Amino acid sequence: MKRVVIVGGGPKSYIPDLQEFSCTDCIWIGADQGAEVLVEQGITPDIAIGDFDSVTEESLKEIKNRSHRIHIYPNEKDETDLELAINEALKEQPEHILLFGVTGGRMDHSQANIQLLYPLMQRNIKSTLIDRQNQVELVSAGMHKLVSDKRYPYISFLPVTLEVEDLTLQGFYYPLEKAYVPFGSTLCISNRLIEDTGTFSFESGILLVIRSTDLPIRG
């Protein structure tokens, strides 16, 4: 599976050890301060992109020296630095995009970044937003499989459409069979797998699938 890993400029305390998510053919993209994070964690950015208004001149010099490619944009632009990074990622025709450094801090930024998962889902590109406590994906109707991950034991399913119909959960502590889940429902909060793998399926709507842990953010 061809993967592109994008690191944004969110609070560094939310970003896990990126080496744990490394792969031999991963393409690494740093958006603004995210490029600084890659350099600090000993990872060479394949692409550094953004206006770089969040890094010092000294840090920008280091990013330029370490990156294979760098694209510097003006501060005033239509796209956010993260959108520019996603556009670069799409040129690589990835099967999976991992997004780090896009949560925490300002709520408007976090919410907007979660919404960026929608156009990726429409392109049938698997995309996962990851921080120290959460893994977030946007999922369309159909049958899906989840593999147990001890780092993120809790699993919640939140409707982002007005309704999700016929939600079925198998292999979970709280199973469901063709449940109706309207927008605003908390029926599917904090479930967990009881087997190595589980499945969930639904007939219509869109779900935000959040895998999480109670471990505190390190500041």
**Last residue of a domain, which of 103, 132, 161?**
132
Are 112 and 172 members of one domain?
Answer: no
Question: Tell me, what DSSP letter sits at residue 78?
Answer: S
List CB contacts of 208: < 8 A, sequence separation 6 or more: 114, 136, 137, 138, 139, 157, 158, 159, 160
Average pLDDT over residues 122-144: 96
Are 19 and 95 members of one domain?
Answer: yes
Are 65 and 113 members of one domain?
Answer: yes
Distances (CA, A) of 116 to 18, 99, 195: 21, 10, 31
Q: Give the residue carrying structure tokens 């369309």.
A: 140
**Last residue of a domain, which of 132, 153, 170?**
132
Average pLDDT over residues 100-113: 90
Are 46 and 114 members of one domain?
Answer: yes
Are 190 and 143 members of one domain?
Answer: yes
Are 29 and 125 members of one domain?
Answer: yes
List CB contacts of 211: < 8 A, sequence separation 6 or more: 134, 135, 136, 146, 149, 152, 153, 154, 155
Are 110 and 202 members of one domain?
Answer: no
Question: 25-60 pLDDT, tens per residue?
Answer: 899 999 999 999 999 999 999 999 999 999 999 999
Are 172 and 92 members of one domain?
Answer: no
Query: Residue 217 pLDDT > 70, yes or no?
Result: no
For all residues of the chain together, what is the average pLDDT? 94
Are 121 and 149 members of one domain?
Answer: no
Q: What residue numbers bound the domain in which 125 lies?
A: 3-132
Q: Is residue 219 part of a domain?
A: no
CA 154, distance to chain mean position in Å, is 16
Are 124 and 177 members of one domain?
Answer: no
Are 162 and 75 members of one domain?
Answer: no
Say what the pTM is.
0.92
Are 114 and 177 members of one domain?
Answer: no
Look at residue 76 in the predicted model and tell me its pLDDT. Answer: 79
Q: Is residue 122 part of a domain?
A: yes
Q: Is residue 126 part of a domain?
A: yes
Q: Which residue has the higher pLDDT, 109 or 161?
A: 161
